[in-house]
Amino acid sequence: MNYRNLGACGVKVSPLCLGTMMFGGPTDESDSLEIINRAFDDGINFIDTADIYNAGRSEEVVGKAIAGRRDEVVLATKGVQPMGEGPNDRGASRYHLMQALDASLRRLSVDHIDLYYVHAPDYQTTVEETLRALDDMVRSGRVRYLACSNYRAWKLCEALWTSDKLNLNQFVCIQPLYNIVNRDIEVELLPLCRDKGIGVVSYSPLARGILTGKYRPGQPFPEGSRAARNDKRMQQAELREESFVAAQQITAHCDGKSVAPSQFALAWCLANPIVTSIIIGPRTMEQYADNLAALEVTITDADEEFVDGIVPPGCHTGHAFQDTAYPITGRGL
C-alpha cells in the first residue's frame, strides 16, 4: 500500500478510505465487521463514518471493529446533520457540535477522533463560532485534525482566512463529491486545495453506482439498486440520463482494456495528484474486493483524453462549462 500524506499534514493515509455509510444498515453488523477487518488486513488504515449514517449504527459498528486496533486506524467521523427533532439537534453551532462529538465518541467507544468533519456548511451559524468550537476540540485532545465536507471553494477559503486571522486550528482536509461525471471541483476547489496544501478525500467516485455501467439509458433501474430504492442523495446529485450514456461509453472503453469500469472510475479519481484518498462505500464483500483491485489499474494519457472527450474538465454531464478567459485544460492542476 502506497500511503499518502493528508495534504500538508504529516499523517499518512491509504489511497482508499473505507466508507461505512452502508454498515449497520443495508449491510448488517456481521458482514460489516468482516469487510472492515478484511480492509485493515489489506493495508487500508483510513476509515470514514458519520453520526447520521444509519442513525448512529454505523459508528457503533465501526467502534466494535476497531476495538484492539485503535492505533492502526486513522478514524474520521462527521457532525452537523440532523440527529433529532429539536431546533439544536443539527448545525455547526458550538452547542450542537460539542454534543455531536460527545455522542460520536460514545458510539465509537474511543477517547479521540483523528479527523473530524463539519459534514456540511451551516449558513445560519457564523464561521467564527464554528471554528472556535472546533479549535477547542483539538486543544482538549478529543480531536486530532479538523476537516469539512461539501464546502464550496469560497466557503473553504473563508474558513482558512478566519482560522489564520484568529490563530485557530484550521481545516486540513475537505471531502467533496468527485467522479468522472461530476468534475466541477476542478474549476476552483482543487486549485485552492493544491495552493493551500489541503488534503482532498473525495466521495462518490462511482457516482453512486452509475459508473459501474449497471444503469442503461431508457431502461428500468436494476432491482435493488440505489436508484430503484429512491435514494435521496442519488436523486439530488447523480441521477441524470447523460451520466447513464457516459457510463456506457466508459464500459465500452474498459472492455478494450480488460478492466472493470468500476475499477477504471476509481483509478481515474486517484490519478489526480491533488486527491489524497477516495472513499469507497461497499455494501458487500464482493464490491469491496472489486474496489480494492482499482489500485492495480494505471490511467494512461490516452485514458485521460478519452474521459475529457466524454466530460470536459471542470464540467458535469449535461453541463459544459466554457470560460474563454480562463479555460480549464486539466484536472485542477
Mean pLDDT of 297-307: 97
* Cell numbers representing residue 332 in the block: 485542477
Mean pLDDT of 278-288: 97
- Residue 315's region, left for phi above 0, alpha for psi from -120 to 50, else beta, is beta
Domain ranges of the chain: 4-310
Is CATH 3.40.1010.10 the classification given to domain 4-310? Answer: no
Q: What is the mean pLDDT of the chain?
A: 93
pLDDT per residue as tens digits for the range 159-182: 999 999 999 999 999 999 999 999
pLDDT per residue as tens digits for the range 236-274: 567 788 999 999 999 999 999 999 999 999 999 999 999
pLDDT exceeds 80 at position 328: no
User: What global pTM score does this model have?
Assistant: 0.93
Please state, in angstroms and rounded to a whole number, the distance separating the CA atoms of residues 137 and 258.
48
* Chain CA centroid to CA 293, Å: 19
Please state, in angstroms and rounded to a whole number, the distance separating the CA atoms of residues 217 and 333.
33
- Using alpha carbons, select from 81, 89, 83 the residue that is nearest to residue 150: 81
Active site (catalytic) residues: 53
Mean pLDDT of 191-213: 96
Share of the chain above pLDDT 90, in %: 86
pLDDT exceeds 70 at position 44: yes
**Which residues, at least 6 apart from 49, have a Cβ–Cβ distance to it below 8 Å?**
19, 20, 21, 23, 58, 59, 62, 75, 76, 77, 78, 108
pLDDT per residue as tens digits for the range 12-29: 999 999 999 999 999 999
Q: What share of the chain is helix, strand, coil (3-state, %, to 5)?
A: 40, 15, 40
**Which residues, at least 6 apart from 123, have a Cβ–Cβ distance to it below 8 Å?**
none
Q: What is the pLDDT of residue 17?
A: 98
pLDDT band with cut points at 50, 70 and 90 for residue 214: confident
Mean pLDDT of 300-318: 94
Mean pLDDT of 290-312: 97
